[in-house]
């Protein structure tokens, strides 16, 4: 691939699409080197950044330019040589703009991995070819499947250190593929790479003539994500009511929001929840003028033909295809707070689409060991980074779908009512 092709140059770059991906792995797996390599090969690292990293590496006594310093920006991270938090990185090729949610791989940071995966179209998991799959790789794969990341890429790194042995690669690929099948993981691609040398990153490497798949960057550029969106179930959570009080615009009442799923068109018959009232879409507006249809992730303003009472937190859907209107929720929860545990009987604020309510934890069915997938029925609470299945009861109905069918109308967060901290992420299994 020529350099010109990689240059996210001028006018043509306006029509790129957007792919968000999460990376998981520890420093030892070469994750920072891989990200550094992607940024370098797409001309994203700037001269002054590289200079700063070189200077910092030298002053730390590192023997090589430590590309981890590019992403580890906080003082404590540099002092302790660890990554504390999700870091967001950006690069582009003429085809796509990429947003990387770079998450630390340490055992205690499940929270960050879940955070990064929640918005990801694709997750990239790294393993060291010499070590093969380790507990952490399985945990990362499990979390990606829990968060329903549609595409998974396993990069078998440091292939140069096993002399590009095809058998080593295939053993790891086979083992991971059968593990992923158990997880009901979606699309999986396995790529042999050397992040340090750049093999199979931006272009196919001569070091692996036996490998017939795409380079990593080629895969990232071409993986088909358009059909990952749910274009079937119309879900429009009302975010804000636009009702200008001015002399120039009168009688305007529009429901602003971002389309969660489905395709809305003027003339469509719709149902508004929780009221259940029916109406028809009179028009769909944007600041650039009316549009013929709206689909995810467009932010638009919907007008209806009837004057019905609609406010923030309501949902516009279709009469024959509606989410559950439910106060009893079964969900998987990832607990994210170090200062308190999830307890049965405790009350929290729940935020789901644009609706905020209160909820009580009615029951904890089990705590899940993310390494063995063993279910512990005797658990009586969830601590930081622990995952379990809970039953919730909410003060007002949620307008909810199963998370596996709809990541936007199936995901929620819990907020501690006294500290205001975000304490948990939830994925709805059943709303009834």
Partner 1 sequence: MSQTKDYRVSHLDALEAESIFVMREVMAEFERPVLLFSGGKDSIVMLRLAEKAFAPGRIPFPVMHVDTGHNFPEVLEYRDRRVAALGLNLVIASVQEAIDTGLVRELPDGTRNRIQTPVLLAAVEKYRFDALFGGARRDEEKARAKERMFSFRDEFGQWDPKNQRPELWALYNGKHHPGESIRVFPLSNWTELDVWHYIAKERVELPGIYYAHDREVVERGGMFYAVNEFIRLRDGETSQVRRVRYRTVGDASQTAAVLSEADTVEKVIDEVAATRITERGATRGDDKVSEAAMEDRKREGYF
- Binding site membership for GTP: which residues? 25-32, 102-106, 157-160
Residue 92: CB minimum distance to partner 1, A: 7
Looking at residues 66 to 95 of the shown chain, list those that interact with partner 1 (rule: CB under 8 A).
70-76, 78, 84-90, 92
Give the residue, chosen from 158, 386, 412, 431, that forms a contact with partner 1 under the rule CB under 8 A: 412
Give the residue, chosen from 1, 13, 162, 183, that forms a contact with partner 1 under the rule CB under 8 A: 13
Q: Which of 428, 420, 414, 413 is nearest to 348 (CA)?
A: 414
Q: Rounded to an integer, what distance in angstroms lies between the CA atom of residue 337 and that of residue 421? A: 8
Choices 2-10, 151-159, 199-207, 275-283 (CB under 8 A): range interacting with partner 1? 2-10
Looking at residues 177 to 216 of the shown chain, list those that interact with partner 1 (rule: CB under 8 A).
none
Give the residue, chosen from 280, 299, 321, 395, that forms a contact with partner 1 under the rule CB under 8 A: 299
Q: Rounded to an integer, what distance in angstroms lies between the CA atom of residue 42 and that of residue 35? A: 11
Asked if 354 interacts with partner 1 (CB under 8 A), we say: yes
Residue 387: CB minimum distance to partner 1, A: 14
Choices 8-16, 170-178, 367-375, 380-388 (CB under 8 A): range interacting with partner 1? 8-16
Asked if 249 interacts with partner 1 (CB under 8 A), we say: yes
E strand or H helix at 170, and its extent? helix 166-182
Question: Cβ closer to partner 1: 5 or 52?
Answer: 52
E strand or H helix at 230, and its extent? none
Asked if 352 interacts with partner 1 (CB under 8 A), we say: yes
DSSP state of 105: -
Residue 93: CB minimum distance to partner 1, A: 11
Asked if 221 interacts with partner 1 (CB under 8 A), we say: no
Question: Cβ closer to partner 1: 113 or 133?
Answer: 113
Q: Which residue has the tokens 């994750």?
A: 31
Give the residue, chosen from 3, 4, 14, 206, that forms a contact with partner 1 under the rule CB under 8 A: 14
Calculate the CA 282 to chain-centre distance: 34
Asked if 58 interacts with partner 1 (CB under 8 A), we say: no
Asked if 46 interacts with partner 1 (CB under 8 A), we say: yes
Inter-residue contact 196 to 30 (CB < 8 Å): yes
Asked if 4 interacts with partner 1 (CB under 8 A), we say: no
Asked if 297 interacts with partner 1 (CB under 8 A), we say: yes
Asked if 425 interacts with partner 1 (CB under 8 A), we say: yes
CA distances from 418 to 67, 199, 294, 349 (A): 40, 51, 39, 10
Give the residue, chosen from 4, 10, 212, 377, that forms a contact with partner 1 under the rule CB under 8 A: 10
Residue 342: CB minimum distance to partner 1, A: 15
- Dump strand ranges (E) for 138-239: 151-157, 187-192, 236-237
β-bridge mates for residue 350, sequence order? 357, 414
Choices 132-140, 151-159, 201-209, 411-419 (CB under 8 A): range interacting with partner 1? 411-419
Give the residue, chosen from 8, 132, 213, 397, that forms a contact with partner 1 under the rule CB under 8 A: 8
Q: Rounded to an integer, what distance in angstroms lies between the CA atom of residue 149 and that of residue 22? A: 9
Give the residue, chosen from 30, 105, 257, 323, that forms a contact with partner 1 under the rule CB under 8 A: 257
Q: Would you call 82 exposed, middle or buried from its count of C-beta atoms within 10 A (0-12, 13-18, 19+)? A: middle
CA distances from 31 to 193, 300, 371 (A): 12, 38, 21
H and E: helices and strands count for the chain: 10, 23
Looking at residues 106 to 145 of the shown chain, list those that interact with partner 1 (rule: CB under 8 A).
111-112, 114-115, 118-119
What order of strands is seen across the sheet that includes strand 122-128?
87-92, 96-102, 17-24, 122-128, 151-157, 187-192
Q: Which of 370, 361, 346, 369 is nearest to 426 (CA)?
A: 361
């Amino acid at each position: 691939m020529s350099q010109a092709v990689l240059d996210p140059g001028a006018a043509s770059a306006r029509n790129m699409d957007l792919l968000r991906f999460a990376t998981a792995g520890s420093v030892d797996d070469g994750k920072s080197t891989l990200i550094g390599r992607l940024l370098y090969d797409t001309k994203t690292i700037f001269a002054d950044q590289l200079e700063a990293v070189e200077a910092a590496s030298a002053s730390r006594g590192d023997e090589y330019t430590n590309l981890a310093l590019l992403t580890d920006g906080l003082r404590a991270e540099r002092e302790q040589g660890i990554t504390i938090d999700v870091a967001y990185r950006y690069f582009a090729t003429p085809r796509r703009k990429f947003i990387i949610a770079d998450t630390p791989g340490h055992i205690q940071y499940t929270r960050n991995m879940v955070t990064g995966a929640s918005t990801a179209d694709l997750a990239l998991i790294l393993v060291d070819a010499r070590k093969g799959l380790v507990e952490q790789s399985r945990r990362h794969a499990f979390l990606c499947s829990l968060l329903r990341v549609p595409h998974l890429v396993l990069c078998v790194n440091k292939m140069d250190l096993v002399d590009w042995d095809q058998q080593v690669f295939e053993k790891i690929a086979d083992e991971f593929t059968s593990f992923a099948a158990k997880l009901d993981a979606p699309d999986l691609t396995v790529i042999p790479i050397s992040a340090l040398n750049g093999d199979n990153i931006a272009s196919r490497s001569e070091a692996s003539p036996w490998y017939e798949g795409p380079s990593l960057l080629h895969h990232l550029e071409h993986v088909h994500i358009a059909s990952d969106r749910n274009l079937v179930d119309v879900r429009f959570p009302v975010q804000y009511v636009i009702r200008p009080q001015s002399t120039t615009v009168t009688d305007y009442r529009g429901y602003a929001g971002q389309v969660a799923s489905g395709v809305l068109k003027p003339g469509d018959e719709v149902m508004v929840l929780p009221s259940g009232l029916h109406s028809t879409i009179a028009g769909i507006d944007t600041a650039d003028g009316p549009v013929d249809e709206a689909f995810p992730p467009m932010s638009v303003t919907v007008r209806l033909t009837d004057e019905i009472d609609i406010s923030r937190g309501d949902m516009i859907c279709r009469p024959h295809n509606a989410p559950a209107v439910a106060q009893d929720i079964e969900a998987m929860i990832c607990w994210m707070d170090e200062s308190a545990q999830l307890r049965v009987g405790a009350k929290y604020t729940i935020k789901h689409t644009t609706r905020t309510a209160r909820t009580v934890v009615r029951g904890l069915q089990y705590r899940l060991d993310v390494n063995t997938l063993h279910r512990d029925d005797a658990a009586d609470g969830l601590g930081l980074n622990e995952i379990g299945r809970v039953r919730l009861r909410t003060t007002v109905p949620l307008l909810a779908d199963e998370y596996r069918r709809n990541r936007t109308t199936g995901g929620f967060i819990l907020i501690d009512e006294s500290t205001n901290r975000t304490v948990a992420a939830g994925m709805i299994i059943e709303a009834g």
